[in-house]
Structure 1
């Protein structure tokens, strides 16, 4: 849902570099921050009232999660948005670059999944 733009527009409050001070970030940062807060609060409300209250856990080491987060963020920034943003918002507004991004990502993902599956089998 456009979270990489939310991330960049949020940084525009504290980082004065020209990239973060672009009008597309500074002019929209308030509603984007409200959107992100709504997602976080919505998840909290669901967890407290509708969920069973148990914590989600993983066996993945913290450093691997951190590395994956950095790689995902780097890829989203290089692609001018994350795949979900391109797929949901970009395709919904009929943007050709989003179609190319989604096709490239999905093609790479399908190929990688097949190669890894065959390699592990």
Structure 2
């Protein structure tokens, strides 16, 4: 996937220009600290097959991802929040999402380094 598939570089550029590198990094640190808890709550809802809780938590995670420009990760959660699915599909989407968090988050760091030079 290219940066434009994974990241909302327009949003990140706006943040970079208004907050500076340090401000954007603080936002990313906040994301990093909350996303694990959000994912844990989501997994608990999946484990108990509570569809309403899964959709609600997916909405929250989608917003967190979008707020830091993680466009592709937000799409996974939007699918879980808004579309019809069965539990096997949801679990696969969540596995794909979980496998993508670190590399996508690292793409922001690489983007930020390129912006800084």
- For normalisation by structure 2, the TM-score amounts to 0.29
Higher Cα Rg: structure 1 or 2?
A: 1
More helix by proportion, 1 or 2?
2
